[in-house]
Every structure is written in C-alpha cells, then in structure tokens.
A and B are shown apart, each in its own frame.
Chain A
Amino acid sequence: MNILGLDISQIADLGTMVAQSGAIRAAAEVAGDEVFEYVIGIAVVIYSTNPTG
C-alpha cells in the first residue's frame, strides 16, 4: 500500500526561521579553517589507528 505524504515544499514554514546549531558564527571566523581542522583531525585518527599503514 502506498503511503500518502505531502510535498514538503508545499508545507508552510515558520516566519521565524531557526538555523541549525553552529550555523551563525561570530564576526570574521573563517569556516574553511574549521574544515581544515576537521580534515587534519581525521588524518590524525587514521594515522594513530594504523601508523604503519
């Protein structure tokens, strides 16, 4: 049996839009550097897990 759903783009949204946690930054923070830290963090975890791999 097919389940009936509304097209989400047709469903009303609130006048007060609230973004996800972390979506607003204080002035002049550079998101790219956080991405850099994230990538480096993953690299550190991989290296720590298997340093000879």
Chain B
Amino acid sequence: MVGCDGPDAAGAVRSPEVGLQWLTCNTHQALRQQFADVRPGDAEGAAVAAETLLASGDWVGELLAPLIAALHRDAAFDPPLRVHRDALRTAAVLFEGPAVSISAAVTSAEALAALPPATSVVAGGRLTVVRYHRAGGARLRCWQMERLGERFSAADAPPCRRLGDVQLADGIVRRCDGRTGATLLDGATEDVVTVTATVRYGAASLMREYELPSGALLRAATLDEAASRTTMLLTLLRLGGRADAAEVFEAATHSPAFHLRWSAMREWLALDLVSALPRLRAMAAGDPDREVRAAAQATLRLAEERLAA
C-alpha cells in the first residue's frame, strides 16, 4: 500500500484539510478496495476479507503516519478519528465502510488487573475479526450461547455455556461471533493492542447480557437503532397528544421487531384507545410472537372494560 502525505505547509496544520486528504489517500483507498468485492449482506465474505487484511498489521502504521506527522507539526491538530476512552481502553475508529468498521484499541493491563471479577458477559450480536497485535500475555475467557431464533423469550432462554480459555499470542487473528459467543480479556501482563473489524452485515437483532457464573440471561437490548428511535418518537407523539398520527402508530405495530410492535401499541392505546382497538384485536388474535399475543389479549380485556364503563 502507498502511504499518504499531509500538507507541506509549515506551522499550524488545518485539521479539516488534513482529514479530507487522509480520507482520500492511497492507504484509505486500498482499505476500501479490500472490501469492494463483498456483496451487500454477505457477512461471511466480509469476515474473510477482514481476516486477509488483519493477517498483517503493517498497514495501520502507514494509515496513521500522516496524522502522526501532522501532530508533530501542530500539537493542536485534531485527527479525524472517532475516539472512545475509558479507564480500561482507548480506541479509535480507523475505517468505516458498508461491510465493516475497523477500530484499533489499547487495553491497559494495569486497569484490567484492577477490575473486580466480572459479574456478567455480553454477547454483542455482531461478527467480529480481531487481530491481537500485541497480546500482552492475555487470555480470552469464552462463552457460548444459543443463536437467537424468531421466537426468543427471556423466560425460557437457556443459560450460556463456558468454553475453554484461549491463550493469546502476538499477531493472532481470531473471529468472535457475537451472535453465538462472548469473550472476556483476562490475565494481561502488558497492555493489549488490538485491531478489530466489526462486520456490519448479518447482525443479531438483540445484544444479550448473561450473569456469571450462573450463565443465566440478565437482559437484552436491541441492536436496531431505527427501532429505538421509533420507540422514542412514538412516546413523543403520545406525550404531544398527536391522535392524528394513527397511521404512524399502526405502521410501527407491523414492525418485524416484536418489542417495537408492542411498544408502539402501548403508546397508541395510551393516546387513543378507540383508534388503536381494531389493531389490538388483530394482535391478540394473530401476532406471530406469543408474548405479544398474550399481552394484547390481557390488554384487550382491559380496553373493553374501559370502553364499556
């Protein structure tokens, strides 16, 4: 791959200009090319392309070199990277494409050692490929859980199962399928440097958290940002008294996401019982999710009592 140069001008570096140059430089273009042949929706193809890319870590230095040079010229230069920092980890998003997003992270061995024992483990719901550029002597503790089906229910979700630990070594590339597995980093004696490609395609609908050591399901959260925004906007419509928005509530009650269907119906019933009633009857009779059907049937009785009063 060919590196890219920052601006030649001495003195202050204009962050937006360097950022724009960086995004169009050869190294960045080569990254895009790496995933250019991945068909939309092809999670396996994206993972294979990521494994090929992460087999070497040399390109990361090339990618960051112009930003580091710009920082040398101007300490106030703001690199065009989305960064996350916490007590344990500093991470930056290096690349975002349709198939994957790639981030680099440094995990502090000292902070990791100071953590209390983990009381839960999270199955993130996405397929990731991780290069342990510097493994820091760490190992991975691994768990396996069932793949989410169409009929997921917290009440009868089986517990996750502990698998054997994996001892990491410098340069190892591993897949972690967050749809059926979860890991915790443990036992690092030096800081751990990772490059992670997160596949955008084929994600599970939910992220799940399991209690340790029992392995019981603790809670679930949607990975669908649109569903979350819709839920909040429907609440806003209800609080605003927007009974004229019945079509919007109706549409949301047909969402593929069972939790959004019911959440929309709750908001609609709280806003305008009469207009929501026909759809409530339909959900009570034939919603594909048994929990939604049960909730609708219970609520239908309440609604009819209220209307008869």
Contacts and interface: CB of A to CB of B under 8 A. Distances in A.
A34 to B, nearest CB: 7
A15 B221 contact: no
B256 to A, nearest CB: 13
A14 B272 CA distance: 20
B259 A11 contact: no
Contacts of A4: 272-274, 306-307
A25 to B, nearest CB: 7
A12 B298 contact: yes
B243 A10 contact: no
Given A18-B259, A21-B222, A27-B121, A6 B306 contact: yes
A16, A19, A26: most-surrounded residue (chain B CB, <10 A): A16
Contacts of A33: 84-87
B145 to A, nearest CB: 14
Contact of A20 (B122, B152, B228, B238): B228
Interface stretch (B25-33, B42-50, B263-271): B263-271
A37 B215 CA distance: 33
Given A20-B221, A27-B121, A6 B228 contact: no
Interface string A1-44: 00111111011111111111111111111100110010000001
B184 A21 contact: no
B291 A21 contact: no
Contacts of A10: 302
A19 B86 contact: no
Contacts, number: 127
B87 A28 contact: yes
B181 interface: no
A13 B295 contact: yes
A35 to B, nearest CB: 11
Contacts of B52: none
B262 A28 contact: no
A39 to B, nearest CB: 13
A18 B88 contact: no
Contacts of A30: 86-88
A22 B222 CA distance: 8
B120 interface: yes
Interface string B206-224: 1111000000000111111
B266 A27 contact: no
Nearest to B115: A28
Contacts of A23: 221
A4 B268 CA distance: 11
Contacts of A22: 221, 228
A28 B114 CA distance: 11
Contact of A8 (B87, B111, B206, B270): B270
Nearest to A8: B270
A2 to B, nearest CB: 11
16 contacts: A3-B243, A4-B273, A4-B307, A6-B270, A8-B266, A12-B294, A14-B258, A14-B291, A17-B259, A18-B257, A19-B219, A20-B232, A21-B221, A21-B223, A24-B220, A28-B115
